[in-house]
Amino acid sequence: MKIFLDTADINQIREAAAIGLVDGVTTNPTLVSRVEGKFEDIIREICETVDGPVSAEVVSLDAAGMVEEAKKLAAIHKNVVIKIPMTKDGARAIRELKTLGIRTNCTLVFSANQAYIAAKAGASYVSPFIGRLDDAGAVGMDLIRETMQIYENYGFDTEVIVASVRHPLHVVESLMIGAHIATIPSGVFEKMFKHPLTDKGIDSFLADWEKVKSR
């Protein structure tokens, strides 16, 4: 499973990318609003830092507007993938962009029907939001299971990006299901390295080493 970082913070991206585990980045208007700089410059810098897909989202709601925005965003860098919302106009835009050779990430997906439409329309990626489903009283990971099964049944090439990841267990569940990608906030990415027994073990080894040194 590939790991994408869900942030627009270039410092977080650089730090994670330096470890060599980050395969791509996803952004959205909310994430971009939290950092300084022009939108195009932020996306370009991210693309130059991570050699992988970088999702940038359109804000138009009509298909024609989405397509025009997508063309401009795609021109920023070869790694840009266009995030398109799951709507009728979004599906129209995805189909047109596919004919233009522009990759898309269908976002704000909350049902298996929506995931199916996204793939049939030709989305390169689909982003089911599991954390928000959990918040609404559903089991978000069930949607990942359903989507993976549907895509396998019909041979869709669309890759599933597990989105709205809230904690490391979401990552483990994604791995167990066999999801293609999980896009992970920096805080969750950091927690994946941690375990209290690891810290305890390091402290114990260092304490014992001090005893050895003092002999």
Q: What is the pLDDT of residues 69-89, one digit of tens each?
A: 999 999 999 999 999 999 999
Q: Which of 72, 83, 120, 191 is catalytic?
A: 83
Question: Which residues, in sequence order, are CB contacts of 177 under 8 Å at separation 6+?
Answer: 141, 144, 145, 148
Q: Are 112 and 143 in contact (CB under 8 A)?
A: yes
Instruction: Give the pLDDT confidence of 127-186 residue by residue, as tens digits.
Output: 999 999 999 999 999 999 999 999 999 999 999 999 999 999 999 999 999 999 999 999
Instruction: State how far the Cα of 114 lies from the Cα of 119, in Å rounded to an integer.
Output: 9
Distance from C-alpha of 172 to C-alpha of 163, rounded to nearest angstrom: 13
Half-sphere exposure of 100 (CA within 13 A, CB side): 18
pLDDT digits over 99-125, tens only? 999 999 999 999 999 999 999 999 999
Q: What are phi and psi of 81, to 5 degrees?
A: -115, 135
Assess whether 83 carries a catalytic annotation.
yes
Q: Where are the beta strands (DSSP E) in the chain?
A: 2-6, 24-26, 54-57, 80-85, 104-109, 125-128, 159-162, 181-184
pLDDT value for 208: 86
> What pTM did the predictor assign?
0.94
Q: Which residues pair with 55 in a beta bridge?
A: 26, 81
The sign of the torsion formed by the CA atoms of 40, 164, 11, 20 equals negative
Q: Which domains does the chain have, with CATH numbers?
A: 2-213 (3.20.20.70)
In a 10 Å sphere around its CB, with 0-12 CB exposed, 13-18 middle and 19+ buried, how is residue 43 labelled? buried
